[in-house]
Structure 1
């Protein structure tokens, strides 16, 4: 189920995004990108609808996933 990111507490959202960024190990090319910059990029993706926050009842967990990947499963 999609959870509107705007309904999450700001600290909770930041922690979720930080966990996502650190877990994904996203490649940003040759330039160094700070954690804060990565967090802001993911926040913008959530605002733009490119990524969504998803709660899995089965696994009782919350994840950030690309919107098209989530919608292709439903």
Structure 2
């Protein structure tokens, strides 16, 4: 289930994004970005629709996923039905 990020408390959203950034541990190449810069990038992705807050009822967890990841999840559900 998609949760509109605008409906989350500002601190809750920040904590969710920070947790996501720390969990991902993505290698950004030659340039090191601060956690604040990474959080800002994810916020921008949420605002422009490239990423979304996703609640998994199956796993009872919330995370941030990309638009393409969400489409892949939708495809998996359609094939399993």
Q: Which residue of 1 aligns with 2:70?
A: 70
Secondary structure, counterpart of 2:65 in structure 1 = strand
1:20-55 Cα distance to aligned partner (Å, 9 max, x none) = 000000121111211000000000000111111000
Q: Which residue of 2 aligns with 1:30?
A: 30
Deviation >4 Å, runs of 4+: none
Q: Which runs of 5+ in 1 are unaligned?
A: none
Q: Which residue of 1 aligns with 2:18?
A: 18
Q: Which residue of 1 aligns with 2:7?
A: 7
Q: C-alpha root-mean-square deviation of aligned residues, in Å?
A: 0.9
* Per-residue deviation, 1:72: 2.6
Larger Rg: 2
Q: Which runs of 5+ in 2 are unaligned?
A: 75-81
TM-score (norm 1): 0.93
Counterpart-to-counterpart distance in 1, 2:73 and 2:23: 22
Q: Which residue of 2 aligns with 1:40?
A: 40
